[in-house]
Amino acid sequence: MSKTDNTEKLNKRKQFFIDVIAKFCDKCGTPYTESSLEIIQDNNISSIIHFSCSTCKSNHIATFIKPMGISNRMPINTDLDVEEIGKFASKEETSLEEILEIYMFLKQKETIVI
């Protein structure tokens, strides 16, 4: 498959998400285009899509569950860029043990500083 075919396929996929999930920005009403969104994660079960408004700069993350054809979209307020969001989206879940370990480490540092 050529690069042009891949780009065309990606743009069709993005247009599908625009048609199914959100055609316009919730905040200002600007229509979304293929360049307004990035597909962060895509597999056989679900897709995670990042929408960014070119006018008001608001950002949304949407999850599309393929077998059921349903989506959920929520606004995000973050300083992470799309690549960073994708990196964290592909990480495994943090275990309770890891959270406790970090808490104990920070608690120990806190007592040392004081």
Domains in the chain: boundaries: 3-113
Q: pTM, whole model, 2 decimals?
A: 0.69
Residue 15 binned pLDDT confidence (cut-offs 50, 70, 90): very high
109 vs 99, more confident: 99
Mean pLDDT of 10-20: 92
Say if CB 60 and CB 32 are below 8 A apart: no
d(CA 112, CA 79): 31
DSSP 24: B
Residue 113 binned pLDDT confidence (cut-offs 50, 70, 90): low
User: To the nearest whole number, what is the mean pLDDT of the chain?
Assistant: 86
Q: Provide the token pair at 35.
A: 């360049």
